[in-house]
Amino acid sequence: MIGEVYQVHITSAAETDLYEIAAYLAYTRREPGSAHKFLLTIREQAEALSESPGRRKRVDEEPWRTLGFHRIRAKNWYIYYRVIEEKKQVDITGICYIRKDQETFLNQMDIES
């Protein structure tokens, strides 16, 4: 239905991804500005998922496709999520650098948190 707004929920696993990536950028690479931009970019894209999250195609990889997982690109990052229609909720389940092996990331992603 057009105009419905979904609640966006970042799972604890995705929160961990956010923290680890931001810490890597800020402390290991010594680029706190990049860490800040990363967090802003992810927040902006996450907020955009509150409107029509299902219009984006599902991932190609199985079994995640059958489980209803989607992926959007936010600059150099992929945001993985699924839509829970009954709750009008979007669960962000993981955030991954685009050059990382995505299937390996999906296999390690905690889809229950």
DSSP string covering 55-106, please?
Answer: GSPBPSSTTTTTTTEEEEEETTEEEEEEEEGGGTEEEEEEEEETTS-HHHHH
pLDDT tier, 111 (very low <50, low <70, confident <90, very high otherwise) = confident
Q: Give 8-23 pLDDT, tens digit per residue.
A: 999 999 999 999 999 9
Q: Give 58-105 pLDDT, tens digit per residue.
A: 999 999 999 999 999 999 999 999 999 999 999 999 999 999 999 999
**What is the distance between the alpha carbons of residues 66 and 59, in angstroms, rounded to a whole number?**
9
**What is the distance between the alpha carbons of residues 33 and 82, in angstroms, rounded to a whole number?**
30
Give bridge partners of residue 23 from the DSSP assignment.
none
Q: Which residue has the higher pLDDT, 110 or 86?
A: 86
7-108: which CATH number, 3.40.50.1820, 3.30.2310.20, 3.40.50.620, 2.40.50.140? 3.30.2310.20
**Order of strands, edge to edge, in the sheet holding 77-84?**
7-10, 89-97, 77-84, 69-74
pLDDT tier, 4 (very low <50, low <70, confident <90, very high otherwise) = confident
What is the residue extent of each domain of the chain?
Answer: 7-108
Predicted model pTM: 0.90
**What is the distance between the alpha carbons of residues 65 and 59, in angstroms, rounded to a whole number?**
5
User: What pLDDT score was predicted for residue 7?
Assistant: 97
**What is the distance between the alpha carbons of residues 25 and 29, in angstroms, rounded to a whole number?**
5
